[in-house]
Amino acid sequence: MATVGTYSHQDINPDNHLFSSFKTMVESVFYGNNVTSIKDLATAYDLAKDVPGAVVTDMPVWHTEDLGLPKDAKVIVFNDGKVTGRTAAARRVIGQPGIDRTYYEGILRQALYEGQYQQFYRGEVLVGLDPEFMVKGHLLLPAGYETNFYSYLLNFQILTNEFQKLYTTSVEYPENDIYLYADPDWRHSDFPHGLALFDPEHNVAAVLGLNYFGELKKATLTLAWATAHRNGFVACHGGMKQYHKGNNKFTMAAFGLSGSGKSTITLAKHGDKYQVDVLHDDAFVINKEHGSTTALEPAYFDKTQDYPLDDDAVKYFLTCQNVGVTLDKDNNKVIVTQDIRNGNGRTVKSRYVTPNRVDHLKEAVDAIFWIMKDDSLPPVIKIDDPALAAVFGLTLATKRTTAENVVGNVDLDKLVIEPFANPFRCYPLGQDYADFRAIFSNEKTHTACYILNTGFYKGNKVKPQDTLGAIEKIVDGTAEFIPFGPLENMSYLPIEGFEVDFADATYLTQLKVRMQGRLDFILAQKEENEGYNALPDEVAKVMEKIIEQLV
């Protein structure tokens, strides 16, 4: 088995590194007599369609037999209240500076005690879809939230006979199974926005007072990514695809926050110009030893804002969250997408939306694309230095979106830095920097680095066709880059309507400001959070050199 779920009597002791107070507290409630174990998707579907508030549409689910669902299964809609996004402010990670372990032990014990008077459902899934990396996960969610429970079992890989056999042959890791306890009805005056509590070293988490489905998905991925990181993998919040060009292949990864264009880029079919294999659009890991990649989820949790009802992809929707419902001309209940009801409407979409879906790629990554919304950068830039490539990933500049429940008075149009597009990291940032620098430094794989600006440049919006057209040129080997002004190891791809002019003093000042902002972020890590995310000296020196060249 890949991860540890059972122990010999001799191994159950305080000296076993797999045990902690948090792990023991959370796992224990999974065995309560108020818990019902759900083993298959058909049962989960029946529970979800009957829960109060669920809307069973008249839209049929495709590939029901392949998915293990009833033949007459329909798309189910369930809507939240005011909050329709993930609440980053609720996250607390045991072991990080400023987190009082004893205090949170008490909070968790009381939450579990109060929860024992509810009925819960338990489900088991796999996170990681290839024997090279598989972690077993367990979810406990109370009655009343059967739609989220069903969506969770769809989003990850339920333990079918096929995957149970794969799991028994998978690589073993000295890590616990994942245990995720959730109680959306929990309330505490100290946590008005809810609490997402993690003990990543022991693969346990509790999501309390939060009913947005994305909290369950990202909590699970947080623990799976941390497990991968501890065991020779690079954790990746991004999309991965592979182009086939005759006898050649081009494997690329695109890293960006929700709403940046990550899914659009990953799932693009390019007019069937190529055979394209899709690994995933959100979560995968890279094996540091030989560069292979493994998807963590079979399904896609996508925004519905870009999908009108007549889009072909809608056929592959399984469940929807925070979307509307109306009647079509035939009096059938159908969904209302494109964020008419509210921002961040979502769907769990089946793997069959991508005809050439794969779960594992043995080839190393040919190129990494950092997706940004930095209006000082033209649509496509190439980076030719390993350290500089990693530094730009570390200082990935983007904007917040409706995918997040942003707490406080925050300007959503303001640029923010989200290192490697991964707000779910629960280990020091410097370790991710080292991992990505090593990828770019590998003389066997020669992984290239590009920056994609999918926002605005000099007031002009970079459209999807601009970005996808540029990627096609890179894949075809026809992209002709020219030097990006005086900046060494940086070049850009000329695109009509996005001309670069270093003689423009206003533009030069804007570019300096953006680079200085990156340097300020780097330097701030020495002091913030007690230096938990402090970076090697070379990181600041790389950015200082860029700024010096702009004088």
Instruction: For residue 400, name the pLDDT band (cuts at 50, 70, 90).
Output: low
Is position 271 within any domain?
Answer: yes
193 and 247 part of one domain: no
247 and 129 part of one domain: no
Alpha helices in 116-212 (DSSP H): 146-155, 161-168
Res. 55: pLDDT tops 80: yes
The token duo for 105 is 């032990």
Q: CA nearest 276: which of 327, 227, 241?
A: 241
200 and 136 part of one domain: yes
Is position 115 within any domain?
Answer: yes
What is the pLDDT at residue 388? 98
Res. 93: pLDDT tops 70: yes
The residue range of the domain holding 130 is 21-52+85-233
What is the pLDDT at residue 481? 98
What is the pLDDT at residue 110? 98
Q: CA nearest 375: which of 509, 491, 277, 247?
A: 509
* CATH of residue 226: 3.40.449.10
* CATH of residue 278: 3.90.228.20
Quote the CA–CA distance of 265 and 105 in Å, as a whole number. 43
What is the pLDDT at residue 413? 61
What is the pLDDT at residue 4? 95
Final residue of a structural domain among 233, 252, 278: 233
229 and 240 part of one domain: no
281 and 416 part of one domain: yes
Instruction: For residue 402, name the pLDDT band (cuts at 50, 70, 90).
Output: low
* DSSP SS3 for 534: coil
Is position 328 within any domain?
Answer: no
Give the chain's mean pLDDT. Answer: 95
Contact (Cβ atoms closer than 8 angstroms) between residue 370 and residue 237: no
Residue with tokens 């007549």: 310
What is the pLDDT at residue 268? 87
Is position 306 within any domain?
Answer: no
Q: pTM for the whole thing?
A: 0.96
- The stretch 511-519 carries a mean pLDDT of 96
281 and 396 part of one domain: yes
178 and 272 part of one domain: no
Lowest mean pLDDT among 105-119, 159-173, 225-239, 393-407: 393-407
Task: Tell me the pLDDT tens digit for each residue of 242-298.
Answer: 999 888 999 999 999 877 889 889 988 888 889 999 999 999 999 999 999 999 999
118 and 256 part of one domain: no
Task: Tell me the pLDDT tens digit for each residue of 301-354.
Answer: 999 998 999 999 999 999 999 999 999 999 999 999 999 999 999 999 999 999
Q: Which amino acid is at 417?
A: I
The token duo for 31 is 């065995």
265 and 384 part of one domain: yes
Final residue of a structural domain among 453, 475, 499: 499
Task: Report the percentage of the chain scoring pLDDT > 90.
Answer: 92
Is position 314 within any domain?
Answer: no
Res. 1: pLDDT tops 60: no
35 and 161 part of one domain: yes
Is position 343 within any domain?
Answer: no
Quote the CA–CA distance of 149 and 264 in Å, as a whole number. 27
Structural domain count, the chain: 2
141 and 243 part of one domain: no
241 and 221 part of one domain: no
Contact (Cβ atoms closer than 8 angstroms) between residue 321 and residue 151: yes
Final residue of a structural domain among 479, 499, 519: 499
Which neighbouring-strand residues pair with 122? 37, 140
The token duo for 549 is 């060249």
Q: CA nearest 388: which of 500, 260, 518, 241?
A: 518
Is position 433 within any domain?
Answer: yes
The token duo for 533 is 């995310």
Is position 411 within any domain?
Answer: yes
Instruction: For residue 475, name the pLDDT band (cuts at 50, 70, 90).
Output: very high
Q: Which amino acid is at 253?
A: A
Task: Tell me the pLDDT tens digit for each residue of 173-193.
Answer: 999 999 999 999 999 999 999
Res. 410: pLDDT tops 80: no
Instruction: For residue 401, name the pLDDT band (cuts at 50, 70, 90).
Output: low
Instruction: For residue 2, name the pLDDT band (cuts at 50, 70, 90).
Output: confident
Cα dihedral 410/416/421/427 (nearest 10): -80
